[in-house]
Structure 1
Amino acid sequence: MMYKCSFISFENERNADELLLPEGIYHKFDVSRQLTLRAGASSLNVNCLPTGRGDSQITLKTSHPLFSSIPRMENILVKLDPAKNSLSIGPVTALLIDHCHEDKLNTHSLKEYFTECQRWFQLKGGLFYLLPVTSLLKNGSEAWVFNQSEWQKKIMLLPHVIYNRSHSRKLETHPLYESALKRTEGQSVHLFNSSFLSKDIVYKQLRNSKQLHPHLPETVQGIDRIDEMLSIYKDVFVKAVNGSKGRYILRVQQRANDYLVYQNSFTSKRTLTFPTYSSLYKQLQSWCHASHYIVQQTIPFVSVNDQPLDFRFLCHKNHKGTWSVISSVGRIASEKQFVANIDQGGQIESPLSIMTSLFPHEDGKVILVKMKALALSASSFLSQHLDGQYAEFGIDIGIDGNGKPWIIEINSKPSKRTFMDNERVRPSVKALYEYSYNIWNEKED
């Protein structure tokens, strides 16, 4: 049985924990014994009392600091289980973020996303908060909770679901982080997208799929193999395996009498030429740690007004393991850029309008369907073969002149800027709520 009502908690100086329930809910339980109140991954045994007729508010009076700190909620889902004499409020979801001071939180690059998540959870009947990774590592309970009109630091109980949005790759290799992941699992907390995905690991996994391998550009590890790749393809990309936002990428072209290099991360000069391979390789060595880069065949993708073009498909998994494309955008590189990432100035357009302008109308629609199917296949395959839980991927795909889709890159912490401005609530926010709701509902069954 599911209800929607308001919830408020008070600190009770007495040892007894009391839960005041609307009569319609109160009479569904055996009140001669204590009821179990569940919120997130925490539970509390409480004595029950009825409130007045027509009252739809649940009031908790408790001496337990984690439960007394639950913020006032005007709209929360309550699940009743009379057979177990338990009541659960949820879903409770935390977004794992890097340590952030209050003044920095108000200028955070994901501030709009944070606020949008909080508002949507509040509207649908859930609790959303921000969990600093420092708190997770220390097994602490400090978090950022939205109260009134601002984010406030409070102690909070463990959630049902944690979505990892920490941007520290170094942190993910720390022993304390691995211990924290094991601890949350032992506490019945569902943590997903537990780590970044490096480009080399993604390629090694996907090439094992007979279905996906034909859609991968030829890729080798290390800049020491660039001569071999240039001798075959004449045009290659050199990418940092842990690069993001279109940074630490070079495009190298072998021409008749020299080598042409495009780059945007190592020097202010975007285009450079080298008369010999020796001079090129010497420069690459100074820029790139040999083993931390891959060299990839350049696929001649279709473009828009001679500007590079690719497509970002945001894929999300529900609690049953089924993946769906929840949003898609076409990304067109800005002038003088050779990558289409939004962080490098790329602009967003509707995929369908782009495809039907580049190909005959029906052909463009069919190719777009194929791209979505490829994104879903890649998401499903990766989530089955990677360690840890993954429920969201950003899949970057390019199209060659024959309409064949190619996988460029897969991100486990996709940008929250790649959505159309006319979407009032971005699909990734809605998907996070639905995923959290299903995880919570399934756990309580």
Structure 2
Amino acid sequence: MKGTAMDTKECFTIQVIHQPIHKREVLLHPSTIDRLEVDKKESIFILFGKTEGKVQLIASDSLDENTIGLNEALWKELRIPFPQLCLQVGWMKQSKQLRLGPILAVLTTVYKEGEAIFGNLTDYCKELALYCKKHCIFLYVFSLEDIGSDFINGYVNEHEQWVQKPLPFPDVVHNRIPTRSAENAQKSLLFFQRCRDESIPFFNDHFLNKWEVYEKLSPYEELKPYLPETVLLEDKATLEFLLAKHECLFLKPIHGSQGRKIFRVKKMNEWYELDYSTLNGEQRHQFSSYSSLVQNLKNRIQKRNFIIQQGLELLTYDGRPFDFRILCHRNDKGEWQVTSAVARVSEKEKFISNLARGGEQKKIDEVLARCMDVTKARQLLRFIYELSIETVTLLSREMDGLYGELGVDLALDQNMEPWILEVNSKPSKNMDLPSRPNTIRPSASTIVQYSLYLARFSHL
């Protein structure tokens, strides 16, 4: 079955019927039963997420065509959280399954105290919930600690509040576990294995690391011209060789994020220069010998795995280097598209543009207008979008697991040539914040659309 685009006309009201009907009976309008082409004597299965019950359909003229009535006992068995709920309804004729939902669940960290219950994902989850409600999709948010043996104590948005309810395992899981350590914990691995065993698709599969991304992309000839030379930092000879080849190098932790622990090394005429950022600001040291540089780096890097990446002379905005974050999503057809793009300008006298490190976010048009004419800027931006789509398409093809959202970091050198710096599988949700309250940004709506595609919901 193909993924189906959402349409509010497919919504049904699912409600408890307070009249004497058997637990295993479901009331529908006669015309709705006719559409299903089901023998009234034949049993079918009704599903809400991964919870199901065996029932018989009963025709009732007292219901309208878009209402389904359930006995209260069946309602509880299916773990439907409210006595009336608007949902999409799918019919799988071959397996005789009437599916209510679909259920999309976001896996992240839940903070028990404070207003931001899901940390910096709180506003994003609210947008997802708002969009899902408009399109009769059921959404909840949960953490690894909320998983039970046959249910999940998930959080549902009700009257602008997040309320915890015992809920079925979902149809699709959006993985937004915020740290690598939590994602690699035994509890996570067991949950993801259960998803595989029960055919519950989950995305984004795992955090990417910088070396893994380079290894997957570098064999593609069409991308090679846009990838800075990158190697694993294995010994001091590797660093020395590349310093003889490039005047500037960046050392980045393969599992790093938000611009942490990034070092810039430059070979000057008679000394070596080392720059790095700390919580107290940018630090710069000079060394008269290569051995003293290496010893200093060794003390700072310790046993962590790093890559060495070719340094680039980037275009600047007001004398500050900048790059782009291009956010890409899969849509309701499973195809990649650009959903948002911003420029990130580094703080004065700094070389890192990440917002977490003091970088400033600006509109791409505004930044490019300082560097080139409007026609050139439009052509270049169109190419950057195409390059980003090609990058995520090839990368998602090479990676294990499903990916529906990737952030591509690109930059322009002094010759206005684009370079692919990084690809992130858990991009920040502070990059494309909505301009007005209660608006839904494309990066939220497209996540829901891709989830519906994964749910394989075949509508009535």
TM-score (norm 1): 0.90
Secondary structure in 2 matching 1:170: helix
Q: CA deviation at 1:248?
A: 1.5
Per the alignment, residue 310 of structure 1 pairs with 323
Q: 8 Å contact 2:405–2:425 — kept in the other structure?
A: yes
Per the alignment, residue 208 of structure 2 pairs with 197
Per the alignment, residue 289 of structure 1 pairs with 302
Q: 8 Å contact 2:331–2:450 — kept in the other structure?
A: yes
Secondary structure in 1 matching 2:269: coil
Per the alignment, residue 109 of structure 1 pairs with 120
Which residue identity lines up with residue 101 of structure 1 in the other structure?
A: K
Which residue identity lines up with residue 51 of structure 2 in the other structure?
A: S
Mapped pair 1:430 → 2:445:
yes
Mapped pair 1:439 → 2:454:
yes
Q: CA deviation at 1:420?
A: 5.3
Per the alignment, residue 28 of structure 2 pairs with 21
Return 101-110 or 116-125, whichever deviates more: 101-110
Per the alignment, residue 11 of structure 2 pairs with 4
Per the alignment, residue 47 of structure 2 pairs with 38
Q: 8 Å contact 1:367–1:404 — kept in the other structure?
A: no
Which among 331, 352, 355 is matched to residue 342 of structure 1?
A: 355
Q: 8 Å contact 2:343–2:362 — kept in the other structure?
A: yes
Q: CA deviation at 1:309?
A: 0.7
Q: CA deviation at 1:434?
A: 1.0
1:238-277 aligned within 5 A? 238-265=251-278, 268-276=280-288, 277=290
Secondary structure in 2 matching 1:68: coil
Provide the C-alpha distance between the structure 1 equivalents of 2:149 and 2:387, rounded to a whole number of angstroms: 40
Alignment coverage as a number of residue pairs? 444
RMSD over aligned CA atoms reads 2.9
Q: CA deviation at 1:181?
A: 2.1
Provide the C-alpha distance between the structure 2 equivalents of 1:27 and 1:197, rounded to a whole number of angstroms: 49
Distance 1:60 1:258, change over 3 A: farther
Which residue identity lines up with residue 124 of structure 1 in the other structure?
A: H
Distance 1:177 1:12, change over 3 A: farther
Cα shift readout 1:275-315 (whole Å, capped 9, x = no counterpart): 33333222211211355111111111111111121111111
Mapped pair 1:96 → 2:107:
yes
Distance 1:444 1:181, change over 3 A: farther
Which among 54, 64, 68 is matched to residue 58 of structure 1?
A: 68
Which among 127, 130, 142 is matched to residue 131 of structure 1?
A: 142
Provide the C-alpha distance between the structure 2 equivalents of 1:111 and 1:66, rounded to a whole number of angstroms: 30
Distance 1:268 1:68, change over 3 A: closer
Secondary structure in 2 matching 1:245: coil
1:40-439 aligned within 5 A? 40-49=49-58, 50=60, 52-54=62-64, 56-63=66-73, 65=76, 67-71=78-82, 74-80=85-91, 85-101=96-112, 103=114, 106=117, 108-136=119-147, 140-222=151-233, 224=236, 225-265=238-278, 268-276=280-288, 277-290=290-303, 292-318=305-331, 320-419=333-432, 421-422=434-435, 424-439=439-454
Secondary structure in 2 matching 1:109: helix
Q: CA deviation at 1:140?
A: 4.9
Secondary structure in 1 matching 2:88: strand
Return 269-278 or 301-310, whichever deviates more: 269-278
Provide the C-alpha distance between the structure 2 equivalents of 1:284 and 1:238, rounded to a whole number of angstroms: 10
Secondary structure in 2 matching 1:413: coil
Which residue identity lines up with residue 383 of structure 1 in the other structure?
A: S
Of structures 1 and 2, the one scoring higher in RCO (CA 8 A, sep 6+) is 2
Provide the C-alpha distance between the structure 1 equivalents of 2:191 and 2:132, rounded to a whole number of angstroms: 26
Cα shift readout 1:235-283 (whole Å, capped 9, x = no counterpart): 1111111111111112222223433333223x63512222333332222
Distance 1:101 1:360, change over 3 A: same
Which residue identity lines up with residue 442 of structure 2 in the other structure?
A: P
Q: 8 Å contact 2:317–2:370 — kept in the other structure?
A: no
Among all aligned residue pairs of Structure 1 and Structure 2, give the percentage whose two residues are the same amino acid. Answer: 25
Provide the C-alpha distance between the structure 2 equivalents of 1:349 and 1:92, rounded to a whole number of angstroms: 36
Which consecutive unaligned segments of at least 5 residues does structure 2 have?
A: 1-6
Q: CA deviation at 1:364?
A: 1.3
Return 392-401 or 35-44, whichever deviates more: 35-44
